[in-house]
Amino acid sequence: MLCVIGDLVEDIVVWLPESLNYGADTPSRIVRTRGGSASNVAVFAATVARKETNQAASSRLIAQVGDDRLGDQLVGTLRDAGVDPCVVRSGRTGSIVVIVSPDGERTMITDRAAATELDLAPENWFENVSLLHVPGYSLFSEPLATATRSCITTAHEKNIPVTIDASSASLILAYGVAKFRSLVAEIRPKIFFCNTDEAEVMNLTTQPLDLDIVVIKSGARPTALIENKVVKMIEVEPVGEIIDTTGAGDAFAAGFLTKFSENNLDTYISVLAGHQLAARVLRSPGATMDTQ
């Protein structure tokens, strides 16, 4: 079972058909969905695995969510999707407003609230877990970062592979590039995901990470798969009508990791699976998938 630690929040996605009219009304389309990078990965992975295995719970999420009605709704969406919610209920549930401008550019207004307040994972979170995935967001804010590091230590002790997604170039800069590189080197994840912006901020071209597998996503351009210092460029199949890019990177990670666990660690096939799942999210509103 894939286990993910991090955010469970509400995404409020706002599509603007025209530029924002400051101080006045702006017609828009608004969709509310479950959000947070960690919960996105867990739900996408569970959806894929459940279709193939028909298990009641196909992934697990470690998180803290508010003890409120919105928190109840979000935990319910996890269960409905086939995710085992290993959650602490306390505080106020967070929300993220995602404003999608007419040119497709996304601006995120974040209030993570209880999502960053997890200070200790529930006991026995590791039972039946075969892989622990950590979005970078879970390493940048306290006390969540301390709880995440504790889970990583437990995973290493139990020989559970750990994977990391860099998550955000701006947060890496705020955290400190050298500090983040040192943290990644200390954790030594089996797989490290990032996009081209994050790779540039981390100076990966001139200072590559000494890790088994590094995957650098580049949107519609080829994905770089670096395995034991050998670089392969893997083409991305064109996606027809792109509705929204929210959650596409999380879908790629979920598709990759699900196939990686199933397919005798075949990284090339795993990248293709990541592309396929990301394409489904690109064709759907918010961090959701089409039903094809």
Rounded Cα gap, residues 192 and 165, in angstroms? 6
- What is the model's pLDDT at position 69? 96
- What is the model's pLDDT at position 133? 97
pLDDT digits (tens, 9 = 90+) for 157-179: 999 999 999 989 999 999 999 99
- CATH for 176: 3.40.1190.20
More confident call, 178 vs 286: 178
Residue 135 sits in which domain range? 2-282
Is residue 289 situated within a structural domain?
no
* Number of independent structural domains in the chain: 1
Is residue 287 situated within a structural domain?
no
- What is the model's pLDDT at position 111? 93
Q: How many separate helices (H) and strands (E) can be counted in the chain?
A: 9, 13
What is the reported pTM? 0.89
Is 62 buried (19+), middle (13-18) or exposed (0-12) by CB count in 10 A?
A: buried
Is residue 291 situated within a structural domain?
no
Is residue 167 situated within a structural domain?
yes
Please, are residues 162 and 190 in contact by the beta-carbon 8 Å criterion? yes
Q: Tell me what the mean pLDDT of segment 146-155 comes to.
A: 97
Q: Tell me what the mean pLDDT of segment 123-148 comes to.
A: 95
Which contacts qualify for 211-219: CB closer than 8 Å, 24 or more apart? Answer: 211/184, 213/267, 215/191, 215/256, 215/271, 215/274, 217/193, 217/249, 217/252, 219/195
> Tokens 């064109």 — which residue?
238
Is residue 48 situated within a structural domain?
yes
Is residue 187 situated within a structural domain?
yes
Count of CB atoms within 10 A of residue 41's CB? 32
User: With 70 as the cut, is the pLDDT of residue 284 above it?
Assistant: no
Is residue 173 situated within a structural domain?
yes
Is residue 36 situated within a structural domain?
yes
| CB contact set of 99 (below 8 Å; sequence gap of 6+) | 14, 16, 20, 106, 107, 108, 109
Question: What mean pLDDT is reported for the chain?
Answer: 89
